[in-house]
Chains A and B, each alone.
Chain A
Amino acid sequence: MNREELINALKPIIAPYTTNEEAFGKLSEETDFIHDLQINSANLVDIVLDIEEQFEIVIENADMERMLNVRAAIDIIETKLNEK
């Protein structure tokens, strides 16, 4: 999967936790989960768990630390998929 495909695969994972629909409509790699999409910080862990399940990868704590925006999420998924 290229980065665009990864973003498209990520969208349905993020959608249920998003409270700012307008920012979700303009979603790009720059989009910040908390500041832009106004996702509750307790739900960020759900996104991490959903990503693990969907892509069959394990996200370590050090990676989770960076998981604040779409770019970091795509970077982490891409790296993990390449390691497989």
Chain B
Amino acid sequence: MIGNDIVDLVQSRKDSNWRRRGFITKIFNENEQLLIANSYDPEIVVWLLWSMKEAAYKIWNRETGSRKYAPIALLCSFVERSCGSAVGEVICEENRYYTKTIVGPDFIHTTAVKVLDHLDHVVELKRCQVVKDPLGLPGIAMEGRRELLPVSISNHGRFEKIVAVF
């Protein structure tokens, strides 16, 4: 299972005022708030953590069939961080998800997986490869396989990302 989330930083600057009173405390737990406060570029850490939560939530949502708006209950931590990337974990209830994030000049893109090894087997796909199964879930057809390989699609602003574990 895979989930991904793209943040277009040009779009997020137009649509969200993350410095607004209450915004940070409603979305981020104390540890995450410290990561943001102690960063030299808090805007990037805000959207980096947000995209980790969103990518992990997409797996949780698909696996449980449940929906909730509880970003603060998705607990993020970094395993490794540099200026252009981050590897981390997100805990949601009893589930642990592994994440890998690319921080570009004007975007942040996180992929989350359930199995750690899968992080090394993530491929990006094009829109034309995607079809829908009878339940409406997106996937790609594989030679010699009856079932579709599940994909995760994320759109924001100028960007669209489609990923699968291959």
Spell out A's residues near B (CB within 8 Å): 40-46, 48-49, 52, 61, 64-68
Contact = CB atoms under 8 A, between A and B. Distances in A.
Contact of A48 (B16, B17, B26): B26
Contacts of A46: 16-17, 20, 23
A16 to B, nearest CB: 10
Contacts of B16: 40, 42-43, 46
Given A45-B23, A65-B70, A66-B68, A40 B54 contact: no
A61 B29 CA distance: 11
Contacts of A49: 20-23, 26
Nearest to A33: B69
The bracket for how many chain B residues form the interface is 20 to 34
The 5 nearest A-B residue pairs measured at CB: A65-B68, A65-B70, A49-B22, A45-B26, A42-B16
A43 B69 contact: no
B23 A68 contact: no
Contacts of A45: 22-23, 26-27, 71
Contacts of A41: 54, 69
Contact of B70 (A40, A42, A64): A64
B121 to A, nearest CB: 27
A40 B12 CA distance: 10
5 contacts: A40-B15, A43-B16, A44-B69, A61-B73, A68-B69
B16 to A, nearest CB: 5
Kindly name the residue among B17, B27, B71 whose own CB sees the greatest number of chain A CB atoms within 10 A: B71
Contacts of B17: 46
Contacts of B26: 45, 48-49, 61, 64
A66 B72 CA distance: 13
